[in-house]
Amino acid sequence: MSNVRTVAIVAGVIAAIVASAYLVGHHLAPDTARERTARTVAPATGAARPVAAAPKPPIAPAPPMAAQPITGPGRPPLPAERGGPFGSRRTTGTTGVALTFDDGPDPSQTPQALAMLRRYGVKATFCLVGVNVRAFPGLVRQIAADGHTLCNHSWEHDVRLGVRTRAGIRTDLLRTNQAIRDAAPGARVSYYRQPGGAWTASIVAVSRELGMTPLHWTVDPQDWRKPGAGSIASTVNSGTTRGAIVLLHDAGGDRHGTISALRSILPNLGRRFQLCALPPGIDPPRMHGREWPLKLGQI
Q: How far apart are CA 201 and CA 204, in angstroms?
A: 5
Q: What are phi and psi of 164, to 5 degrees?
A: -75, 175
157 is catalytic: no
Give the Cα separation of 107 and 26 in Å (integer).
97
* 256 has catalytic annotation: no
Q: What angle do CA 92, 97, 100 make, to 5 degrees?
A: 85
Phi, psi of 263 (to 5 degrees): -65, -25
User: What type of residue sits at position 170?
Assistant: R
Q: CA-to-CA distance for 70 and 282, rounded, in angstroms?
A: 5
Q: Which one is catalytic: 158, 172, 249, 250?
A: 249
CA–CA distance from 239 to each of 117, 118, 149, 230, 286 (Å)?
20, 24, 23, 14, 24
Instruction: Choose the catalytic residue: 102, 172, 223, 250.
Output: 102
Say if residue 30 is preceded by a cis peptide, omega within 30 of 0.
no
Alpha carbon distance 114, 112 (integer Å): 5
Catalytic annotation, residues? 102, 249
